[in-house]
Amino acid sequence: MGGQYLCKADRCSSAEESETTKRREGDIRDCLRPSDPVDIVWPLSSTVLGLLEETSQIAEPLPDGLPQRMLDLVRTSEVIWKSPVLDQMMVFKCDTDVVVKAIWCVDDDTEYTTLQYLECHKPDIPAPRPLGYTYKPSTTLATVWPQMDNDQKASIRDQLGVIMSNLRSIPYTDGSALGGVAGEGCKDIRRHLRKSEKPIRSLVEFEEFLFSSPHPGGQVFTELLRQLYPTQPTEMKIVFTHGDLRPDNITVDMDDCNQWIVTGLLVWEYSGFYPEYCEAFKCTNCLAPYKEDDWYLFLPDCISPKRYAHWWLLDRVRDARVV
C-alpha cells in the first residue's frame, strides 16, 4: 500500500478555499475544480488510463477531459489515509488494486523517482510500485505493535534487518551527488525541512550542510561539536537510506501460521544515498526523553544507534540547537 504522483494541479484561491473548508474541513477534493490546469509529470499507466476512461459519463474524452475525469475519480474514491496536517495529503483507494496519493504543493519528486529506481535496481524491496502497483489490504505496524509480545517484535526486527540490509547494499557511485537518486539533493528534517542548495558529493560536505542550519548554536558550541567528531569520518560508507523508518510507515499482515509479516515500506520522500549513520538518526527522530515506546529497543542492528553511538549522540546534541 502506498502512493504515487500522477500529475499536478493548481490549488484554488484562498477565498474559494475558505468557502470549501466550511463545507468539508480538511478534504483536498473540495479545493479542486475541473477548470484547474493539470500537468502530467509522469506517463499514466494503462491501468490508471482505463480507470479515467470509465469514471465519467459526462466528461470529454481524454486528453481534454483529464481534469474532470480525475476529479470524478477521486470524488468517488475511498479515503484510506489522511494527513494530520489539514489539507496536506490524502490517499485514495480508486479501485480494487489502485491507490493514489494526493499532495499539495509538490516541488520535489524524490518519492516517485525512488520508487522507479527501486523497481529497476531492487524489485524485491517491499515498496509501492509507481503508476499501477497492486493494493493489498494491510495494517500499519503502529496499529498492532502495542499488542505484540517480545518474540513477535523480535521477528519484525529481524525481517526489517533483512530488508534494510538489502536496501543498503545498493551500490553507490563514488563522486555522484548524495540525496535523491534523480539529483533532488539532500534533506535534513527536524522541526522543519531543509534542502541542500548545491550538490553534495562527500561526507565532509554533508556534515557542513548539517552545520549550515540557520540555528546551529554559538561559535564556541559549534566548534566544540566539530572537535568531538570522529577523526576518520571518510571511512564511513554511503548507502541507500529510507529516511523515515517508523511503525506508521511499515505495513504488516498476519500469515496462515499467525505470524506477523512485513509487507511494505511506505513514505520514501526523504530517501536516497546518505552516510550510513543517517538512518539511525532519522528512525529516532520522534524519540523524546519520556516517550515510552519500545519500538526503539527493537531497531534492526544495521541501522541501530548502538552501531553508530558516537555519531548518534553528537547529532542528538546538535538536534537540541538545530531546530
% of residues, the chain, pLDDT over 70: 86
pLDDT at 44: 80
74: left (phi over 0), alpha (psi -120 to 50) or beta: alpha
Question: 3-state class of 195 per DSSP?
Answer: strand
Q: Per-residue pLDDT tens for 118-152?
A: 999 999 999 988 764 446 668 999 999 999 999 99
In sequence order, the 6+-apart residues with CB closer than 8 A to the CB of 314 are: 225, 228, 229
Specify the higher pLDDT residue, 259 or 107.
259
pLDDT at 260 over 60: yes
Domain with CATH 3.90.1200 in the chain: 139-319
pLDDT at 235 over 80: no
Does the domain at 139-319 match CATH 3.90.1200? Answer given as yes
Q: How many residues does the chain have?
A: 323
pLDDT at 7: 52
Question: 3-state class of 207 per DSSP?
Answer: helix
pLDDT at 106 over 80: no
pLDDT at 5 over 60: no
pLDDT at 308 over 50: yes
Q: Tell me the whole-structure pTM to 2 decimals.
A: 0.84
In the predicted model, what is the mean pLDDT of residues 66-92? Answer: 82
pLDDT at 277: 97
* pLDDT-wise least confident of 85-89, 112-116, 254-258, 297-301: 85-89
* Cβ(266)–Cβ(251) below 8 Å: yes
pLDDT at 11: 45
% of residues, the chain, pLDDT over 90: 50
Rounded-to-integer distance, Cα 93 and Cα 101, Å: 9
Band (192; pLDDT cuts 50, 70, 90): confident
In the predicted model, what is the mean pLDDT of residues 281-289? Answer: 92
